[in-house]
Structure 1
Amino acid sequence: MRRMTAPYPPRRPARSGFVALRGLRYHLLQWGDAALATPARPPLVLLHGWMDVAASFQFAVDALAAVEGDEEARWIIAPDWRGFGLTEAPGADCYWFPDYLADLDALLDVLVPNGAVDLLGHSMGGNVAMLYAGLRPQRVRRLVNLEGFGQPAGEPHHGPRRLVQWLDELKQPQPLRGYDGVEAVAARLMKNNPRLAPDKAAWLAPHWSRPGADGRWQILGDPAHKRVNPYVYRVAEVLETWKLIQAPMLWAEGDLTDVSQWWGNRYPRSEFLERLAVVANVERVTLSPCGHMLHHDQPEALAAHLARFLG
């Protein structure tokens, strides 16, 4: 049997713990603690994307520690979203996007009740971060969005068809594929992202999955996440929220990201840039060579931008 690559050795290991949020046992990773936070260097909160986990940020956290030095370490917090990683699933048969906003709001009330944070989100997490920064501008000092593009605009006539699809999907199981071992999970991660180094895949695989009762490894994501959102994406409402963002924002993208792989010609990158223009203070950077998983492909380059932008 082929021997698995030795896992990546973290420079700054995380502390794993749980907190009660909105009736769920929420899993958090933390690097450092409140003693490291100051008004000029508030906690940095990292929000992962769909079918990902908080541990996905380990490489970027380590790269940031290398750039800033251990003596300048930040308090960094990364939750597993509801129904992902080690956070409980709510027991419902579908998920509602506003719950991510409410979960984040509750998390900050527990950990940082009287202050602002620096907020970074990747993909789905970037979309949550953008909306939250508009809805709670006093809670966000700096905002970083890693390829949280949003969605193609929904039209009213799409609504009935979307609701029918949702009703139909509620009646069907949404299984996730199982894997013969953790090595197979690591191989899947590298297939999803050919730029992910084998040692990082070997480290991430047991954080991204667990063995089930049958011995096969299962992705740590509630299959109900696969069901379609019953409502179309209302761009006008999103943009009105983005206009309320007060924090300086860093937008980071990879030069190899091709948005047509997700949406065809329904939502070109140029349309996203038009939307982004409503945000008052945006800096844009492109990492190369880099795809959608910026924090995996170019953690060192990303960390250099973060250290400069966050200050």
Structure 2
Amino acid sequence: MKTLRLLTLLLLAAAAIAALVLWRDPWLLVRAEFARQRIDAGLSRAQVDAAGHHWVYVQRDADAPDAPVIVMVHGFTGSKENWYPLAKALGGRYRLLIPDLPGWGESERKPGVAYGFPEQAANIAAFIHAVSPNKPVILLGHSMGGGIAAVAAARYPQQIARVGLLDAAGVRFKDNTFGLDVLAGKNPFAVEDDVTLQRYIDTVFFDATAKPWLPWPASAALIHKRRADAGFEQAVLDRIGRGAENLMPGEEASRIQQPVLLLWCRQDAVIDASALDLYAQRIPQANKVLLDGCGHMSLVERPREVAEAVVKLAGPP
């Protein structure tokens, strides 16, 4: 009986300590889940200085030392963690390098510095030079990262052997609610409370089974972070969504000579699937892939299908 009471007291004490830790650092749950996914995908953390910024990225060596190198670029409000499901699906075929872009995630953000399409394309070129100096890479970009990848592939072809544009920004796609809100000066991705957090998730995901579960206090931590980033998000969106450079990726795309993958989901409520054909008109050598039953987060909602398309882009080993 005494042993049972002691065990109960120990469990209560442990629960109290856990509650205190989470109260002081609610982001701990999010970091722990990200770490679990990273380890499950066989990735390890790394850091590098490039383009005047300190970068945090994850990496994984390939099974074969001469395997292709893939660099993955996340989208607006995204981070390196968005790519973990695809990284896992790709297995050990490639050396993977997945950074947080400057200004986002764990990488350095500098006040007064522009983080639009041309600046981030130059940043990515510098990152590639730092982490794969002697070997051109396969560059994958999602959403805003797709626009960055298009600009980078056109301007820095010596460093980029092949390019994959997934649900990429940068062309005037068919009007939808998201696009019209952006053109009207709003940030439809803004998160201020539980309601707008759920709206954000529902906008980027179509497949309900792929939507992340965010219990409290993880949800509270994410809301707090997104509130803190609101000014930065608005400044970036003003440039890439409705500024003079918002169609730069599509304009630069006509100069891309490398093999290209264009991949969209039919139910994308952010970058409408009409963007696929608009990019294809500018990149006639591109292979087009349109997936069904998924939304803007193709790399999370359909990682196996995206992996199959990436393997075809990469070509034979």
TM-based fold match above 0.5: yes
Q: Deviations over 1:129-152 (max 9, x none)?
A: 111111112222221110114143
Q: Which amino acid aligns with 2:283?
A: V
SS at 2:141 equivalent = strand
**1:117 to partner: Cα distance:** 0.3
Cross-structure match for 1:75: 95
1-structure distance, mates of 2:80, 2:51: 19
Q: Which amino acid aligns with 2:147?
A: N
Give runs of aligned pairs for residues 1-311 of structure 1, distance below 5 A: 10=37, 11-32=40-61, 36-38=64-66, 41-65=67-91, 72-92=92-112, 95-152=115-172, 177=192, 190-192=201-203, 193=205, 195=207, 197=209, 200-201=212-213, 211=221, 217-219=224-226, 221=229, 223-227=231-235, 228-229=238-239, 231-233=243-245, 235=247, 238=249, 241-258=252-269, 270=274, 273-311=277-315
Q: Which amino acid aligns with 2:81?
A: A
CA contact (8 A) 1:44 1:117 kept: yes
2-structure distance, mates of 1:196, 1:16: 30
TM-score, normalised via structure 1 length: 0.70
TM-score, normalised via structure 2 length: 0.69
CA contact (8 A) 2:169 2:249 kept: no
Closer, same or farther: CA 270–297 of 1 in aligned 2, 3 Å: closer
2-structure distance, mates of 1:106, 1:135: 12
CA contact (8 A) 1:291 1:297 kept: yes
2-structure distance, mates of 1:77, 1:93: 24
Closer, same or farther: CA 109–258 of 1 in aligned 2, 3 Å: same
Q: Which amino acid aligns with 1:45?
A: V
**1:271 to partner: Cα distance:** 6.9
Q: Which structure has the larger Rg over C-alpha atoms?
A: 2
Segments of 5+ residues of structure 1 without an aligned counterpart are 66-71, 154-164, 170-174, 263-267
SS at 2:282 equivalent = coil
Cross-structure match for 2:6: none
Q: Which amino acid aligns with 2:122?
A: A
Closer, same or farther: CA 197–92 of 1 in aligned 2, 3 Å: farther
For the aligned residue pairs, the C-alpha RMSD in angstroms reads 3.8
Closer, same or farther: CA 234–148 of 1 in aligned 2, 3 Å: closer
2-structure distance, mates of 1:103, 1:306: 23
CA contact (8 A) 2:86 2:300 kept: yes
Using CA pairs below 8 Å that are at least 6 residues apart, which structure has the higher relative contact order? 1
**1:297 to partner: Cα distance:** 1.1
2-structure distance, mates of 1:231, 1:217: 28
CA contact (8 A) 1:51 1:221 kept: no
2-structure distance, mates of 1:238, 1:258: 20
Segments of 5+ residues of structure 2 without an aligned counterpart are 1-28, 174-183
**1:242 to partner: Cα distance:** 1.9
Q: What's the % identity of the aligned pairs?
A: 21
Q: Which amino acid aligns with 2:56?
A: H
SS at 2:121 equivalent = helix
CA contact (8 A) 2:259 2:285 kept: yes
**1:245 to partner: Cα distance:** 1.3
